[in-house]
Amino acid sequence: MIKRFLDLGMQPLANKYLKRPRKLDRKNNEVYHLEVMFNTKTKLVSLNKKIPVKKMFNNKYPYRSSMSKTMPKAFKKLSKNIIKRFKPKKILEIGSNDGALIQNFKKEKAVCVEPCGNLAKITKRKGFFTYSNYWNINLSKKIKRKFNFIDVIYSANTITHIENLDNVFKAITNVLSKNGVLIIEDPSLLECIKKVSYDQFYNEHIYLFSAISLRNILKKFNLEIFDVEKLSTHGGSLRYFIKRKENKSIKITKRVLEQFKEEAKYKLHKYETYLNFKYKVKLSKTKLIRILEKFKLHKKTVIGYGATAKVTTILNFCKINKKLIEYFVDTTPDKKNKYVPGTNIIVKKYDKKLINASKYIFLGAWNFKNEIFKKERNFIRRGGKFITHVPYPRII
Ligand code: JHZ
């Protein structure tokens, strides 16, 4: 049974930055009613409305994995571990974005899949074999014909973006070698619940996995999780190491059982947990608006830092406009001088001068808090304050 638990209101597509603010068209799927649901059988948390894939991932997709220092550094470390632990002859990355991970592998050993043409171009330019296609069974057959079986398939922040999970895992098992390993990482549902980071829900995150729900999905494909790593990236993620059930040469680590236990302790398998979460989200909204309105009342300007996809959910859910947050700064070239979807708030190119001229900054990219606090230590030193909503709205 599928039960709804969170209504985040009318939302635009999170990464569709506009040149000018304008009324968005519901018929054209530019806005949709964002609700979050819980499947009592599979324990999977998902969105109610699925947006046609071409509307989300196309040649104008702005998000670039290499825009922070944190992600390329994390990917470098991971690549070393993959090489050491699994010694892949061939590695396939699903959703290779601008190559932040794959660039750590030898070109002749790597295959990229990236549906957004503007991003696929980047890895092609770097010399990596790149399919500019959506991941599905047909592509997987094509890859098998060309490269035969693949021994490591890797995918970060992509699988939860694809609606048809059946097709995703069929395509993976089609091309994964007998003793091959699938590694996927995505934001952790448990961390989202703990941090009340409801902004993890936006049109691209069709699913938010827990280890429990992923185990249930994988069963059907004779796949199982044999290891899991907790990551601090993207607000708390899980990296799952997955193998075929019949492959007995790899042992299941203790960490997997511990993860299941922890998720059970937080009752991720129970609907009540999500109702409680909904209550906390409402509180979070009220508190954040109260903080921002107080600044406005005292004629103090607040700007935003990091126009993340998550920010789109917050601003639209809390109905925050440029009276409350004047503008955002962001380093992503394709977001520059465009408006956060659904709002009249412009994104300006990151410039130290803008930070120097500010006193109060809403931390949109809260998942990069450490990196940003380090970068903006002078702002903090001279008494500048950040505002965050995670795990609860406050000034820091
Ligand atoms: P960041 C995207 O989500 C979309 P977003 C996608 N759906 C997904 O799952 C995750 O990525 C992986 C900027 N920034 O990574 C860059 C600065 O300006 O939290 C980015 O625009 N200065 C695929 O958008 C944004 O913040 C900085 O110093 O929520 C961060 O976006 C830093 C560190 C970042 O992902």
DSSP string, 329-395: EE--GGGTTEEPTTSS-EEEEP-HHHHHT-SEEEETTGGGHHHHHHHTHHHHHTT-EEEE-SSS-EE
Model pLDDT, residue 25: 85
Q: Which residues pair with 327 in a beta bridge?
A: 346
Instruction: Find the mean pLDDT for residues 15-23.
Output: 92
Question: What does the H/E/C string look like for 150-204?
Answer: EEEEEEECCHHHCCCHHHHHHHHHHHEEEEEEEEEEEECHHHHHHHCCHHHCCCC
348-369 confidence digits (pLDDT tens): 999 999 999 999 999 999 999 9
Which residue's CA is the nearest one to ligand 1's atom 1? 308
* 165 touches ligand 1 (CB under 6 Å): no
Residue 158's pLDDT band (cuts 50, 70, 90)? very high
Rounded Cα distance, 354 and 338, in Å: 17
Q: How far is the CA of 338 from the centre of ligand 1 (A)?
A: 16
pLDDT at residue 50, as a whole number: 84
Q: Is 14 in the pocket of ligand 1 (CB under 6 A)?
A: no
Q: Residue with the nearest Cα to atom 35 of ligand 1?
A: 308
Indicate whether 286 pLDDT > 90: yes
Q: Is 160 in the pocket of ligand 1 (CB under 6 A)?
A: no
Ligand 1 near 350 CB (within 6 A): yes
Instruction: Supply the pLDDT for residue 177.
Output: 98
In the chain, what percentage of residues exceed pLDDT 90?
96
Task: With a cut of 90, say whether residue 49 has pLDDT above it.
Answer: no
Closest C-alpha to 341, from 42, 62, 46: 62
Task: Tell me if 45 sits within 8 A of 274, measured CB to CB.
Answer: yes
Region 266-290: mean pLDDT is 98
Per-residue pLDDT band for 22 (boundaries 50, 70, 90) equals confident
The model's pTM is 0.96
Mutate to test the pocket of ligand 1, among 47, 308, 355 (most ligand atoms within 8 A of CB): 308
Ligand 1 and 13: CB distance under 6 A: no
Q: What is the pLDDT of residue 29?
A: 82
- The mean pLDDT of the chain is 97
What count of other Cβ atoms lies within 10 Å of the Cβ of residue 93? 26
pLDDT at 28 over 90: no
Distance 381 CA to ligand 1 centre (A): 25
The mean per-residue pLDDT over the stretch 42-69 comes to 94
* 5 pLDDT more than 90: yes
> Residue 244: pLDDT above 90?
yes
Angle between helices 165-175 and 211-219 (to 10 degrees): 70
